[in-house]
A = this chain, B = another copy of it.
Amino acid sequence: MDLDFSKTDGLVTAVIQDHESGRVLMVGFMNQEAFRKTVESGFATFYSRSRKKLWTKGESSGHRLVVKEIATDCDRDAVLVRVKALGPGVCHNGYQSCFYRHLEDGRWVESEPRSYDPDEVYGGGA
C-alpha cells in the first residue's frame, strides 16, 4: 500500500468518483493516516489542510462516502476512490458534486440546481 507522500507536504491527492455514474464528486487530500483510515473503515477520510486534522466526510452531515474501489496512479502520488455517496449531495454548498460550475465564455456558471438545502443539513453555519 506504499504511496508517495513526499511531494505535497505528506499528502496525496484523492479524487472521489461516483462508482455508478462516473461523476467526479470532489477532490481532497489524504495523509498516510487518512489513507489508512479510509482503507480500514471503508469511509473516505481526508486531511484538512485548513483545520490541520483528519476528517471523515459526512461526520457532521451524514453524507458519508462508502468506498467501493481504490486505484492509484503511475507515480503513486494520487488515489482515485470510487464510492457510493450517501445522502443527496457531497458538496457542503448543497450540490450533488463540488464541481457544479463550468467555464463559459471566461466565466464560471452554475451548471445545475441544488440537490438539497445546506442550511437544513449544516444548521445555517455551512
Over the window 31-65 of chain A, the binary record of Cβ atoms lying under 8 Å from chain B Cβ atoms (1 yes, 0 no) is 00000000100000000010000000000000000
Please name all residues of chain B whose beta carbon is closer than 8 Å to the beta carbon of A99 when the two chains form the complex: 71-73, 78, 80
A93 and B111: CB pair below 8 A? no
Using known A-B contacts A13-B13, A15-B24, determine if residue A100 contacts B74 with beta carbons closer than 8 Å: yes
Over the window 1-40 of chain A, the binary record of Cβ atoms lying under 8 Å from chain B Cβ atoms (1 yes, 0 no) is 1000001100001010100011110110000000000010
A103 and B22: CB pair below 8 A? no
A62 smallest CB distance to B (angstroms): 18
User: Closest chain B residue to A75 by CB distance?
Assistant: B98
Please name all residues of chain B whose beta carbon is closer than 8 Å to the beta carbon of A1 when the two chains form the complex: 103, 106-108
Please name all residues of chain B whose beta carbon is closer than 8 Å to the beta carbon of A49 when the two chains form the complex: 7
Please name all residues of chain B whose beta carbon is closer than 8 Å to the beta carbon of A95 when the two chains form the complex: 74
A102 and B8: CB pair below 8 A? no
Q: Which residues of A contact B (CB under 8 A)?
A: 1, 7-8, 13, 15, 17, 21-24, 26-27, 39, 49, 69-74, 76, 78, 80, 91-93, 95, 98-103, 106-108, 111
